[in-house]
Every structure is written in C-alpha cells, then in structure tokens.
Amino acid sequence: MIEPVRLPSPWCDEPLTVVVPTYNEAGNLPRLVERLLALPLPGLSILIADDNSPDGTGEVAEKLATEHPGRIRVVHRPGKEGLGRAYVDGIGKALEDGAKYVAQMDADLSHPPEALPGMLGALLSTHAGVVIGSRYVPGGQLDDAWPMYRRVLSGWANLYVHTLLQVRIRDLTAGFKIWRADALRAIGLDRVQSNGYSFQVEMHFLATKLGQTIIEVPIRFEERTDGVSKMTTATKVESAMMPFKLRLRHRKIARNQPQLGKAAD
C-alpha cells in the first residue's frame, strides 16, 4: 500500500465526491470506505450507486452511511443495468448536489484509494479536465496476481480502440480517474449511451473530441481478493463493437465547441 501524498491547504480541503458503482461487493465495500475516509482529504465524500445487489451490498452501504453521516450517500438503482448506467446515475447525482470534483473508481479494491490525493494534486496544478490513474504509462504497474489472459485482453483492447478511434490515451479502458465538474458538464452525460465497461472508452472519446486536456498518472492496479469480476461475454462483445458505434454516434461533435484544452499524449 502506497503512502498518500499530503496536499497543502487549501487543495486538501477541496470538495471531492468519489462515485463507486456496486453490484455484489458487500465484502469489499467496508474496506474501501475505511481506506477512503482515512485519506488526508477532509473534503472527500463518497456516493455509492448500488444495482440492487442480491448479496446485500445496498444494506451494507446504508449502514456505512449511517455510521458516517454527511460523508456517504447511497443511490439505490432498480437492478443491474451495466457499469455505464450506474456511473451516469451516480455522477449525475453528484453534479446535482453541487460536486466540484468527481472521482470514479471500482469497489473491488483494484484501484488504490491512496493514489487519489496525488491525482487531485495533478488536476489542481494544471488545466486538465480529467486525470486518469493509468496502468500503462511509465511507472504504472499490474499486480503479479493478474492472470496472463487478462493482461493480453487488456493490452489488446487498448491497442484495438486506439487504432480505431485515434485517442491519445495509453490506458483507454481505465476506470480510475478524477474529473472537474465543468468537464463532465461539457461532455453531457445525456450523450453517453454505453452500458458496460465501454463507458470508460466513450467518456475518453468524448473528452478528446471536445479538446479537453487529459493527464495520465501511474498507478499500481491490484487483483481483487474478494468477489468475482463482472466482465461477461456480452460485455466483451459490446466493447468490441463500441468504437464503430462511437465514431458514428458522435461524428457531429466538433472541436470548436467550448473546450478546456487539448488532449495530452
């Protein structure tokens, strides 16, 4: 576990809402919340978007919210509709509540919460619209326990999408990032239609199309130790088809729209 960066005031006090979608993560959620609330970020709050998990994750989330009033909120969704829909609902709620900065991360502890202060510092010290916790920039790492087929699939997916969409991001499928609220509003969540993991690619594609500055900082990606991956065959098929759909769906978005900068290499 890395030691979190200690940001100077007032940066450490900035309001940061961490959106965490959950489905059957009752075993991981308390540990994630403990690590998030231990960070030297007094302005951090957590918004959990649960897809009516049959393992009781929603009830665990409500218990945690009761134990930490004002720092944890729960959005209960009617059922499992995909990662993308959960994120759209969670991020939308965060923006409605006046969030200034919005982080997104998985509940399975694959994303190190201790990296968030450094990512927030990178965002605040630049004009970036989003900072990505990246596995594939220099210094980024994959857990040794990550199986070879997952490494090959992830590497191939990034190469495949990069080739088709020409998005200059090394970790195109990354799900660990911090956004400025105005960057999310510029993208417009109503534009986003991806249901599964391709939600990440669509958000990166839209940010690039709008000319936003995108920064990648290295992280160590950990293998989950509790629960099972939600990656299904249907999700893989959706992800394979998504680049073609994105080029057609968002072909009318022009770079001369209101921007935050240019996409970084």
**What is the tens place of the pLDDT at every residue in 103-123?**
999 999 999 999 999 999 999
Residue 38 lies in a domain: yes
What is the rounded CA–CA span in Å between residue 104 and residue 126?
Answer: 19
| DSSP-derived secondary structure letter, 75 | E
What is the rounded CA–CA span in Å between residue 2 and residue 219?
Answer: 10
Residue 79 lies in a domain: yes
The residues facing 228 across adjacent strands are none
Residue 255 lies in a domain: no
**Residue 149 confidence (pLDDT):** 74
Output the six-digit token pair for 166: 């020409």
- CATH number, domain at 159? 3.90.550.10
SS3 7: coil
Domain count for the chain: 1
**Residue numbers of the domain that contains 48:** 11-249
Q: Which of 44-53, 74-83, 94-103 has the lowest mean pLDDT?
A: 74-83
Residue 262 lies in a domain: no
Q: What are φ and ψ of residue 40, in 5° steps?
A: -80, 55
**What is the tens place of the pLDDT at every residue in 120-176?**
999 999 999 999 999 999 999 988 887 787 777 777 777 877 777 778 899 988 999
Q: Where are the alpha helices (DSSP H) in the chain?
A: 29-37, 57-67, 83-96, 116-124, 148-165, 181-187, 198-209, 233-249
Does the pLDDT value for residue 256 go beyond 50?
no
Q: Give the closest residue to 132 by CA, choosing from 263, 43, 7, 1.
A: 263
What is the rounded CA–CA span in Å between residue 8 and residue 40?
Answer: 10
When pLDDT is cut at 50, 70 and 90, the band that residue 253 belongs to is low
- Beta-strand pair 72-76/44-50: parallel
Comparing 235 with 193, the larger pLDDT belongs to 193
Q: Give the closest residue to 158 by CA, choosing from 169, 150, 147, 142.
A: 169
Mean pLDDT of the chain: 87
When pLDDT is cut at 50, 70 and 90, the band that residue 262 belongs to is very low
SS3 128: coil
Mean pLDDT of 60-77: 97
Residue 256 lies in a domain: no
**Residue 114 confidence (pLDDT):** 98
Residue 110 lies in a domain: yes
Residue 244 lies in a domain: yes
Residue 263 lies in a domain: no
| DSSP-derived secondary structure letter, 129 | S
When pLDDT is cut at 50, 70 and 90, the band that residue 264 belongs to is very low
How much is the CA Rg of the chain, to the nearest whole Å?
Answer: 17
Q: Which of 10-19, 188-197, 221-230 has the lowest mean pLDDT?
A: 221-230
